[in-house]
Amino acid sequence: MNQFLEDVLKGLSAKDKYLQSKYFYDAKGDKLFQKIMTSQEYYPTKCEYEIFTEKTAEIVSVLTELNTEFDIVELGAGDATKSFYLLKELVERKINFTYFPVDISGNIINQLYSQLPQRLPELRMQGLNGEYFAMLEKAKILSNKIKVVLFLGGNIGNVPHEKAGEFCKAIRKHLLPGDLALIGFDLKKNPKTILDAYNDKAGYTRDFNLNLLLRINDELKGDFVIENFYHFPTYDPSTGACKSFLVSSTEQQVNVADESFHFAEGEAIFMEIAQKYTIEQTDELANKSGFTPMHHILDSKGWFLDTVWKCCEGF
């Protein structure tokens, strides 16, 4: 049984049904996510883009303060729209580094190989297609330089707050003292602004979620009737948890491979969380996970934070 099928069957068999958001990203899902990032309501990309275009020199100064050479390992690299500006600044300053983009989507890695060398001919790059931690280990085998791990776009928010510490500790265990992490956090703000970002009027986020059902149909012999599900996002301003669900609009039976699953009318599949933070919570997360927060960089609205953490000794 392949991992995708195993994870889908496990999620749909659970008391509270769920699907893993990492499977959003097939070729169609990649394109839909690009559309989400350019939609009017989706602010996180725009805020972090501002940081990487207007405060690039500040980021580089922090990264090069202690190290004159290192590797950039970007987890979930996507199309490298934001990190491109950091890579460009490093190349122009003639910093000795190699870029290791990590992505679960082989399609994304192939795109980076075809596009980045054209824009940055001097860039040394080696794409890594696979899961984050396995690829972090591979990057360590390929090079013994100090690692600077990029985890941008507020992707840390895809881990529930109560599990974010475990995730950050896991990253830390794959790093060495002196290694750095540059992590993007979406900050708490007007609840309507947040909810609108995950319910854009053009319906890209809706289609992005429903596309996973289409992928299950195509790849795992599923028979989801897409019209029988609707996208339903929620946001709790007290906890900072923004969640996306697909809700069954009718009582129905769905088959995947040789398994059958019953849906009651109104029953939901939990699809994704986008956790929002305060700056203080990000510092606390660093300290509990074997890192020391070194520097905060905010966009002009104060909506988004890119923070640099350093791996502590003796963790």
pLDDT 10s digits, 234-261: 999 999 999 999 999 999 999 999 999 9
Does residue 159 contact residue 275 with C-beta atoms inside 8 Å? yes
In angstroms, rounded to a whole number, what is the distance separating the alpha carbons of residues 80 and 48?
12
CATH topology of domain 43-190+277-311: Rossmann fold (3.40.50)
In this predicted structure, what is the pLDDT of residue 159?
Answer: 87
pTM (two decimals): 0.90
> Which of 60-69, 103-112, 220-229: highest mean pLDDT?
220-229
In this predicted structure, what is the pLDDT of residue 314?
Answer: 74
In angstroms, rounded to a whole number, what is the distance separating the alpha carbons of residues 117 and 149?
21
Tell me how many helices (H) and strands (E) the chain has: 11, 12
In this predicted structure, what is the pLDDT of residue 238?
Answer: 96
Q: How far is CA 232 from each of CA 35, 144, 222, rounded to the nearest angstrom? A: 19, 46, 22
In this predicted structure, what is the pLDDT of residue 1?
Answer: 60
Q: Where are the domains of the chain?
A: 3-28+191-275, 43-190+277-311
In angstroms, rounded to a whole number, what is the distance separating the alpha carbons of residues 185 and 44?
9
In this predicted structure, what is the pLDDT of residue 251?
Answer: 98
Average pLDDT, the chain: 95
229-236 sheet: strands from edge to edge: 229-236, 241-248, 268-275
Looking at the chain, the whole-number percentage of residues with pLDDT higher than 90 is 89
Cβ-Cβ contacts under 8 Å for 145 (sequence gap 6 or more): 69, 70, 71, 97, 98
